[in-house]
Amino acid sequence: MENERCLDLKYAKLSKAGEIIEMLCICLGVFLIPLFLPKLLTIVFGKTSVIASNSQYVVGSVVNTLLIIAGVNANGWKKVLGIVTLPSISALFGGLVLKASSVYTMYMIPAIWIGNFAIIYLYRYLFVKKNLNYIVTSAIAIITKCAAIYAGFNLLVLVNIVPNGSKVFTSLNIAMGMNQLVTATIGAVIAFGIIITMKSKKVSE
């Protein structure tokens, strides 16, 4: 029951219309960004550009920003579970974020869902409910998310679904390791600016 109450908390109160707009923006963002942003970056900057060739960092940073905002302000199990599952489903359907390794995304989905849920829940529990410092909360939430996802990857290596030492292994090792840490950290920095705005709105009310 305490866990359910925790997920019902909100950092900033919004009107009913505001809540609907917030949820639409988050849900559409976490689903459509992995699907279309890599193509858009390729069109705008060119296929060989640094930005387009590292689009997974851009996509991951934006998605993590939205996950953290959901962590502080999207209440209820149904909303949270929907936000948790959408990014990986989008990446699987589009086959864009991991490119040649996208076939293995299917096997990584449970670990990605656990990682996404962890970062949302820990921001809600530590930052919103317990009023823990944002930086400390971010460190705990990011490390937990990255550990869950990287543990899932290592399990696939252990059971030989991902062959150790192969090109796929190298690609996924980066995508599920360092990539997760970098994009979650950038997402936390971007989200902080949005959360400050929420706080000023909260105080003014």
**Pair 124, 9: CB distance under 8 Å:** yes
**Pair 27, 34: CB distance under 8 Å:** no
3-state helix, strand, coil in the chain (%, to 5): 80, 0, 20
pLDDT at 200: 63
Q: Tell me the C-alpha distance between 198 and 47, whole Å.
A: 37
Q: Tell me the C-alpha distance between 92 and 202, whole Å.
A: 38
Which residues lie below 8 Å from residue 13, measured CB to CB, with a gap of 6+?
202, 205
Tokens of 14: 């919004």
Residue range 149-205, pLDDT digits in tens: 999 999 999 998 888 888 888 888 998 999 999 999 999 999 999 998 877 655 444
The phi and psi torsions of 8 (rounded to 5 degrees) equal: -90, -5
The vertex-94 CA angle with 88 and 96, nearest 5°, equals: 90
Q: Tell me the C-alpha distance between 47 and 50, whole Å.
A: 9
Q: Would you give the DSSP letter of residue 76?
A: S
Which residues lie below 8 Å from residue 131, measured CB to CB, with a gap of 6+?
none
Residue range 123-141, pLDDT digits in tens: 999 999 999 999 999 999 9
Residue 77's CB: how many other CB atoms inside 10 A? 11
Q: Tell me the C-alpha distance between 74 and 168, whole Å.
A: 35
Question: Residue range 12-29: average pLDDT?
Answer: 86
Tokens of 138: 């971010």
Residue range 30-73, pLDDT digits in tens: 999 988 888 899 999 998 899 888 888 999 999 999 999 999 98
Residue range 81-111, pLDDT digits in tens: 889 999 888 877 765 444 544 567 788 899 9
Tokens of 174: 């980066």
**Pair 73, 198: CB distance under 8 Å:** yes
Q: Tell me the C-alpha distance between 14 and 18, whole Å.
A: 5
